[in-house]
């Protein structure tokens, strides 16, 4: 397939989905509300048109999303037709899934401008959540929203916008939320589950991480390291680790907030969060990563002290005014 026709429209994506009898729907690893909500909404919509569909994920789905999985029906599918949602890079499927499915994904619906264009067809919209283009594709498929689709889409847009708080929230996001709430979505229950409830282990990890937070450049740069030792001491599981990345930038006066987390290989997964003063993707790009202007990430395979030094240097280089 030529590069020229890789980028497709909403109606082409809808037609592509309707042109086959069954679809395997892939989410990214370490699944979040957007990839899951988008996937389950699309699954339900396909089933409503008489297609067979099934959502799979390389990782276990966190308990707090149980209302999405329990409302879903997993059909037997041929695995001949594959769509990925909210997956910017086939590597993010997880190594095993990438090996099996990575090179034969027919369609990707995404919202990351860093999308690596691994799928045969790509519907890419630069908006708050993958659920935004997914909702348009569902409409273009001629499927009206029902409460199950609405809860899935609401979960996706609410989680990816920090409950309509982040700069990726637009008038369009709020209009979709309004439409979904009219279908009876229990928004306050979902949001409490997504944003408020924390395990005791998570609280302990936050306590340790806050104590380890370090500041640079007149306190405009805050770095919160989470080491394997902290993870062990707090007793957190993977599910407890979501939503830590915004914490450093929540400190008054901080331009650039960085959270780094030690990974199994001894390196660090790094998350950058910035406001108007700095571009997170610029900083991440200097370290081989990428992302959006306000949120980006990279991986650094060095010991902690060296990683911290690399981060401070990259911020200084990408945001010269922070050092003034």
Residues that bind its own copies (CB under 8 A): 163-167, 169-172, 174-175, 177-179, 181-182, 187-189, 191-192, 195-200, 203-204, 206-207, 210-211, 213, 215, 219, 246, 249-252, 275-276
Q: CB of residue 280 vs its own copies: minimum separation in angstroms?
A: 14
Q: 20 or 206, CB closer to its own copies?
A: 206
Say how far apart CA 76 and CA 22 lie, in whole Å.
Answer: 9
Say how far apart CA 90 and CA 98 lie, in whole Å.
Answer: 6
Q: CB of residue 229 vs its own copies: minimum separation in angstroms?
A: 18
Q: 162 or 267, CB closer to its own copies?
A: 162
Q: 172 or 238, CB closer to its own copies?
A: 172
Q: 99 or 210, CB closer to its own copies?
A: 210
Q: 69 or 167, CB closer to its own copies?
A: 167
Q: 122 or 145, CB closer to its own copies?
A: 145
- Lookup: tokens for 274: 């910035």
Say how far apart CA 132 and CA 174 lie, in whole Å.
Answer: 11
Instruction: Supply angle C-alpha 264, 244, 239, rounded to 5.
Output: 60
DSSP H/E element including 228? helix 228-234
End-to-end CA distance of the chain: 50
Say how far apart CA 314 and CA 306 lie, in whole Å.
Answer: 12
Q: CB of residue 174 vs its own copies: minimum separation in angstroms?
A: 4
Bridge partners (DSSP) listed for residue 23: 53
CB atoms within 10 A of CB 203: 13
Q: CB of residue 304 vs its own copies: minimum separation in angstroms?
A: 20
Q: CB of residue 162 vs its own copies: minimum separation in angstroms?
A: 8
Q: CB of residue 176 vs its own copies: minimum separation in angstroms?
A: 8
β-pairing verdict for 256-262 and 268-274: antiparallel
């Amino acid at each position: 397939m030529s590069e020229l026709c890789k980028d497709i429209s909403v109606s082409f994506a809808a037609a592509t989905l309707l042109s086959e009898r069954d679809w395997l729907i892939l989410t990214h690893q370490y699944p979040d509300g957007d990839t899951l909500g988008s996937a389950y909404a699309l699954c339900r919509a396909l089933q409503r048109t008489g297609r067979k569909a099934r959502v799979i994920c390389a990782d276990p789905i966190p308990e707090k999303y149980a209302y999405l999985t329990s409302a879903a029906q997993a059909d037997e599918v041929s695995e001949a037709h594959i769509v990925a949602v909210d997956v910017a890079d086939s590597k993010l499927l997880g190594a095993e899934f990438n090996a099996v499915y990575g090179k034969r994904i027919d369609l990707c619906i995404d919202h990351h401008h860093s999308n690596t264009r691994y799928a045969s067809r790509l519907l890419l919209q630069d908006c708050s959540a993958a659920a935004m283009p997914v909702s348009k594709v569902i409409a273009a498929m001629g499927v009206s929203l029902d409460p199950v689709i609405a809860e899935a889409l609401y979960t996706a847009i609410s989680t990816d916008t920090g409950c309509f708080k982040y700069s990726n929230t637009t008038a369009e996001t709020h209009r979709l939320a309004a439409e979904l709430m009219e279908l009876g979505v229990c928004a306050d229950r979902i949001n409490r589950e997504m944003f408020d409830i924390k395990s005791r282990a998570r609280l302990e990890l936050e306590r340790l991480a806050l104590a380890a937070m370090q500041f640079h450049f007149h306190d405009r740069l805050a770095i919160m390291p989470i080491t394997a030792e902290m993870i062990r001491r707090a007793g957190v599981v993977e599910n407890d680790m979501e939503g830590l990345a915004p914490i450093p930038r929540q400190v008054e006066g901080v331009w650039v907030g960085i959270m780094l987390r030690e990974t199994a290989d001894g390196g660090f997964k790094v998350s950058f969060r910035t406001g108007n003063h700095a571009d997170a993707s610029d900083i991440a790009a200097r370290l081989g990563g990428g992302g959006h202007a306000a949120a980006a990430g990279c991986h650094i395979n060095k010991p902690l002290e060296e990683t911290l030094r690399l981060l401070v240097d990259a911020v200084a280089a990408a945001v010269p005014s922070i050092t003034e």
